[in-house]
Chains A and B, each alone.
Chain A
Amino acid sequence: GAVVSQHPSWVICKSGTSVKIECRSLDFQATTMFWYRQFPKQSLMLMATSNEGSKATYEQGVEKDKFLINHASLTLSTLTVTSAHPEDSSFYICSARPSDRDTEAFFGQGTRLTVV
């Protein structure tokens, strides 16, 4: 099956610093990737849709200047949490879908971000 790799698996950073999370589709090309956020015992909340070669589409209430998304190639999207604060601590998950399919999504293993 299709494999999506997310890096790092976990990161601890200080308040005010920025953190970059990478999402790679290893064996397929993905025109679209998605970034989710998940708080403990809650479901996945879509933050933004990342489109290769164009600007990301952010969900209502998500600050685009705080969560910078870059989809530079058909196999890589990055999410940068800028000026991180403790309330940004969460589990961030990316997903990708092969460009020739519009059905199931394949997810990365997630990144646990802790801001201290």
Chain B
Amino acid sequence: SQKIEQNSEALNIQEGKTATLTCNYTNYSPAYLQWYRQDPGRGPVFLLLIRENEKEKRKERLKVTFDTTLKQSLFHITASQPADSATYLCALSRGGGGNKLTFGTGTQLKVEL
């Protein structure tokens, strides 16, 4: 069955450091991989999308890599700030009609002063 796994433990880092979150998947051939941020009691907010034929995508302090051979995506937040503290979800889609998203388990990030 399809499985999407993220760092199961919460990730605590110091302000200014780079946070790296991992998303691994099995039994899936996604056309897109997406990263979302979710704050407590709120819906997810879209951050970045990377396609299967792309290796890396950047947006301001965010960087995503996508390795379809390893079936893994890495999500980096550079120069992290306390305001980056949230749960980060990866989501996969085969694209096309409906574009159903399958979400990973999420990683809780805490950036400390």
Contacts and interface: CB of A to CB of B under 8 A. Distances in A.
Interface of A: 4, 6, 32, 34, 42-46, 49, 57, 91, 93, 95, 97, 102-110, 112
A33 B89 CA distance: 19
A43 B46 contact: no
Interface residues of B, number: 23
Contacts of B20: none
A104 B100 CA distance: 10
Given A42-B105, A103-B32, A104-B49, A95 B43 contact: yes
Interface of B: 32, 34, 36, 41-46, 49, 89, 95-106
Interface of B is mostly: loop
A80 to B, nearest CB: 19
Given A43-B105, A109-B42, A110-B41, 12 more contacts: A32-B99, A43-B104, A49-B100, A97-B99, A102-B96, A103-B95, A104-B34, A105-B34, A107-B44, A107-B45, A109-B43, A110-B43
A103 to B, nearest CB: 6
Q: Which of A6, A102, A108 has the most CB of B within 10 A?
A: A102
Given A107-B44, A107-B45, A102 B95 contact: yes
A12 B89 CA distance: 28
Contacts of A57: 98
Contacts of B99: 32, 97, 102-103, 105
A103 B98 contact: no
B103 A43 contact: yes
Q: Which of B41, B104, B105 has the most CB of A within 10 A?
A: B41
